[in-house]
Amino acid sequence: MHKGSCHCGSVQLTLPSTPEVATVCNCSLCRRIGGRWVYFEFGTVEISGHPGATAEYVWGDRTLRTIRCRTCGCVTHWEPLPPVPGARHGINLANFDPELVASVRVRRFDGADTWTFIDP
């Protein structure tokens, strides 16, 4: 299965399956992170080094918390709030093998305004 990690390796992620679509979002947070989000049910992605090696950021309507490595600063994922099994869970595909990243179709999401996909 697909394994990824933050830059320093403190946080390791293992995906339960191969993602088919990654989302790039232009909201005020995502455009700064520059992440490529792939989604899984919360509880299905194996994550080590979290929460011991991570820090979190919660903003706005507090529906999720964005997680980053406390050492290298790479954003690895976000977790749903409340963190219930089965809820949507975002993983930053940028932490994975570039060949996997290149193979996954990217869709652009207008999280800043219309809350819809804005594919060309």
Cβ contacts of residue 113 below 8 Å, gap of 6+? none
- CB 82 to Zn ion: min, Å: 26
Number of residues that bind Zn ion (CB under 5 A): 6
- x/- binding map, residues 10-49, to Zn ion, per CB under 5 A? x---------------------------------------
| Nearer Cβ to Zn ion (14/71) | 71
Render 10-44 in DSSP notation, one character per residue.
Answer: SSEEE-SS--SEEEEE-STTHHHHT--EEEEETTS
- CB 5 to Zn ion: min, Å: 7
Exactly one of 13, 25, 45, 69 binds Zn ion (CB under 5 A); that residue is 69
71 belongs to the binding site for Zn ion (CB under 5 A): yes
Query: Where does residue 34 fall: left (phi above 0), alpha (psi -120 to 50 degrees), or beta otherwise?
Result: left
104 belongs to the binding site for Zn ion (CB under 5 A): no
Structure tokens at 57: 């950021």
- CB 107 to Zn ion: min, Å: 27
- The C-alpha atoms of residue 15 and residue 9 are separated, in whole angstroms, by 16
Element housing 100 (H / E)? helix 98-103
* Chain residues in the site for Zn ion (CB under 5 A): 6, 8, 10, 69, 71-72
